[in-house]
Every structure is written in structure tokens, then in C-alpha cells.
Amino acid sequence: MNNKFQRREAGKKLLTLCMILLAVTPVFAQGGATAISNAANDIKEYWDPIKLILKAVGGLVGFIGGLRVYNKWTNGDQDVNKEILGYGGAMIFLIVVPEFVTAFFA
């Protein structure tokens, strides 16, 4: 009987501690608008170098894709059109996406 009483009291103490913690936690929280504003400013600060890197990667993908297409074309492969569409789509994606993201954060 004494063991059940101790468990019940320990459970009550734990529940009380959790309720106090839940009541006090919002006091220490940072404002949501401030956090979002800080994150947007950080993204704006780093976006121009990232955009340049993405364009460089798009150019590199386009160059490698061009070499692969040329190699398949000179060898008489039948999949040249698939290669052109695949690498062309990837290159266009890597070049166009930074412009859309810039417009989103402007």
C-alpha cells in the first residue's frame, strides 16, 4: 500500500513539474516575427555568392552534357535526343531556379 502511495505522489510531482515548465517556457521563447526576419536577412546576405555558384555548376553541367552528347553523336548512338533533353533540362533548371528564388526574396 505504501508503494502505491509513493508512486502516486511521485507522479503528481512529475506532472506538476511538467505543467510549471510548460507555463514558463513561452517567457524564454524568441518572438516568431523576429526569428523569421533574421533568417530572411541572413539568406539575402548569402544569396548572391550562392547564385553565382549555382550558375557555375549549371555551366559545368552543360559543358559535360555537351561532351557526352557529342561523343554519343559521333559514335552513332540512338539515345542522343534523350541525352540532349536530360542535360539541357538540368542546365536550364540550374540557371533559372536562382532567378526565381531571387524574385521570391526581393
Looking at residue 28, its amino acid is F
Which domain range does residue 15 map to? Answer: 1-30
Q: Is there a single domain that holds both residue 47 and residue 14?
A: no
Residues 26 and 44 in one domain: no
73 assigned to some structural domain: yes
Phi and psi at 60, nearest 5°, equal: -65, -40
For a pLDDT cut of 70, what percent of the chain falls above it? 91
- 59 with 97, same domain: the answer is yes
The number of folded domains in the chain is 2
The pTM of the full predicted model, rounded to 2 decimals, is 0.53
Q: Are residues 68 and 92 in the same domain?
A: yes
Secondary structure (3-state) at 1: coil
Tell me: do 83 and 45 sit in the same domain.
Answer: yes
pLDDT per residue over 82-91, tens digit each?
888 888 888 7
Q: Residues 44, 96: one domain?
A: yes
